[in-house]
Every structure is written in C-alpha cells, then in structure tokens.
Amino acid sequence: MESVEDRAREALAAIAAASSLAELADVKAAHIGERSPIALANRAIGALPPEQRKAAGLEIGQVRARVSEAFAAREAELASVALDERLRSEAVDVTLPVTAQPMGAIHPVTAMIHKMCDIFIAMGWEVADGPEAEAEWLNFDALNFTPDHPARFLSDTLFLDPPEHHKLLRTQTSPVQMRTLLTRDLPLYIVSPGKVYRADEYDATHLPVFHQLEGLAVDKGLGMADLRGTLDHLARSLFGEGIETRLRPHYFPFTEPSAEIDVRCFVCKGECGPDRPCRTCKSEGWIEWGGCGVVNPRVLAAAGIDTDVWSGFAFGMGIDRTVMFSTGARDLRDFVEGDMRFAPLFGRLEVAA
C-alpha cells in the first residue's frame, strides 16, 4: 500500500506540474491510464488473500478517486487557460478602420436600356433580340435599301470577311424588324435594344460601337398618330411630364412617311438664341433623338404580310445619346473607358425632369 501512496503522490505531482492540456494527456497515460502503476495495483487486488482484498480495494479506490479529481480539476484549469489564450489571439478589433471597397454600379447605358424596356413592357410590348454580326440582306435589302443605296457603301459600314458571305456588323438595330416579322405572329409590338457598329471617329460625341433602341408595332389600322402617341409616352416617362417632342419630315427607305423626332432641350428649354447660346442643343432649342415612321408596305410585303390588312410604325434612337443629353454627360468616351468612378455618378439614373 505504501507504494500505491507513493505512486499517487507522483501522479498528483505530475498533474500539478502539467502546464498544458497536451502535457496533461501524457500524465494521464503514465499515471492514470490502463497501464499505470495505480491501475496495475488495482488489478493485483484479485491476487491478494481474500481477507486483505476489502481493505486494499477501499484504499486503492480512494487513491484513484483523489487522483481522478485532481486530474479533472487541473484539466478544467488548463482548458480555461487555453480558451483565454485562444480568445486573446483570435480577438478582432472592431474599432480598427476598414479599407473601403468601392461598390460597383450599373452602367448608365444598361440602366437606360432597362428603363426604356420597362416603359414598353408596361404597355404589353415584348423585348426582341438580334445578332450583332448580321446578314447584309437583313441590315439593308429587307429594309428597302436599294442595291446601290449609298448607306451600304459608306465608309462607316464594317463588312465581315469573306465578302461573298455578305455579313456585316449591324449598323442599326433595324434588322431586328425583319427578324421578328419573319418569326413572330401578328399583331406584334416589340422593342429591341442593342449594340450597333459604324467605322466612326472615336471622340466626345461619337463611338464606333454604340447602342440603339428599335421599336416596331404591326397591327390592324396603325398609323402616324399611334407612333406619335407612343413616342410622346416614352419621352414623358423618361424625361418627365411636360416634355415637348416634335416630328420633322425626313427620309428612311423602310418607313413612309418618315420623320426625325426631336425633344425639347433640357438645358435652355428652347429659350436659347443668338444672345443666349446653348451648348447642349447648339442653340437649336431641340435635340435630335431618333428616326421613325410608318412601316413601308414594301418591308411588310417582303415578310409575306398582307398590307391590305396590316400596317405598322417603327422608330429607333440612340441610347448613349439619350443618357448624354438627359444627364448632362459631356463626353461619350467616359462611357467606355472603364473608370470605376464613372458609373456610380449616375446613381439609379434619375434623368432630368
């Protein structure tokens, strides 16, 4: 029994001396575990003469209980030290200043596309799509451009190789007109926003890649008055009640009659003149917005549509331009140069009322 007491003292000393949970685990193996002297002594009780067993069992039981208690107490102590240490080392100082991450923003052209499309969707129109690499036939012939029409050969059309494939980068969103006439049922009301390409200068007011919104409505009895009402609604929804528009006679091969649509200058409200020049409208009082007209029956006929029954109107306007004149953005190059500070300036694109 003496030696059991000695082993117990050793075990208690080792437990007290353990300075970490890992060391304590070693102590457990050496002094308390299956193969420890105390465990072996416990097992040896069976070999004692019967009259000694009870006293020996009691004694060793008490020793084991003391050692286990001391072990549990030390374990709790070391666990709490370890936790404190971990909390200290993983502490986050929430008062430290953060490195501000700039938030992205929707590009104003994308925001304008959403806004314009929403206005038409609210009237029950659909949004249609078309490819940017387009057949020459759809970009020109189907829209009643004669084979020798100058627009085809103007140096600003970008044809794709090989020339015998007659493909080009669309110069307008108008080819979506014929695509939808050929694939959708009548009546149809569609708008189609997208990129168009022209070999233009790259300067403050021109980009070789810009955006247009095309509109096409074909139904029974549609005419100029419907076109006018639709464009006025678009202008008022985008720019606010009271915005004035005007149609000016013009020529497009795919509409007859054709017109250009202007909106009142947001800056001078038309009150400009020789003594009060206006930069935004170049002292015209009006800003050119887009082209429009009653769909030329030849276009409908090319799509196999009975022009005695159906008629329609169409329009197309520059989206980048719309952002520019309605927000006061001065340089189109800012739209494409990717400066992170640009897009957030437009907020949710609250255009001038």
Q: Which residues of the chain form contacts with ligand DAH (CB under 6 A)? A: 172, 174, 214, 252, 255, 290-293, 314-316
Closest distance to ligand DAH from the beta carbon of 292 (Å): 5
Closest distance to ligand DAH from the beta carbon of 335 (Å): 18
Residue 285 or 316 having the CB closest to ligand DAH: 316
CA distances from residue 212 to 56, 117, 121, 194 in whole angstroms, order as listed: 100, 12, 17, 6
From 125, 330, 98, select the one nearest 216 (Cα to Cα).
Answer: 125
260, HSE (Cβ side, Cα atoms, 13 Å):
11
Residue type, 165: H
Residue 57 or 253 having the CB closest to ligand DAH: 253
157 φ/ψ angles, rounded to the nearest 5 degrees: -90, 130
Closest distance to ligand DAH from the beta carbon of 144 (Å): 11
CA distances from residue 101 to 93, 273, 309 in whole angstroms, order as listed: 19, 47, 59
Residue 36 or 212 having the CB closest to ligand DAH: 212
Residue 144 or 326 having the CB closest to ligand DAH: 144
Residue 31 or 134 having the CB closest to ligand DAH: 134
Check: CB of residue 293 under 8 Å from CB of residue 258: yes
Closest distance to ligand DAH from the beta carbon of 290 (Å): 6
CA distances from residue 175 to 265, 282, 353 in whole angstroms, order as listed: 30, 32, 32
According to DSSP H, which parts of 98-205 are helical? 108-121, 136-139, 150-153, 175-183
Closest distance to ligand DAH from the beta carbon of 205 (Å): 15
Residue type, 103: M
Closest distance to ligand DAH from the beta carbon of 217 (Å): 10
Residues with Cβ within 8 Å of 245's Cβ and at least 6 positions away in sequence, in order, are: 231, 232, 235, 261, 262, 263, 264, 289
Residue 30 or 151 having the CB closest to ligand DAH: 151
CA dist., res. 180 & res. 20, Å (int): 77
Closest distance to ligand DAH from the beta carbon of 307 (Å): 16
Residue 37 or 208 having the CB closest to ligand DAH: 208
Residues with Cβ within 8 Å of 246's Cβ and at least 6 positions away in sequence, in order, are: 261, 262, 286
Closest distance to ligand DAH from the beta carbon of 314 (Å): 3
CA distances from residue 98 to 90, 91, 94, 111, 279 in whole angstroms, order as listed: 18, 16, 9, 30, 43
Residue 177 or 327 having the CB closest to ligand DAH: 177
DSSP state of 273: B
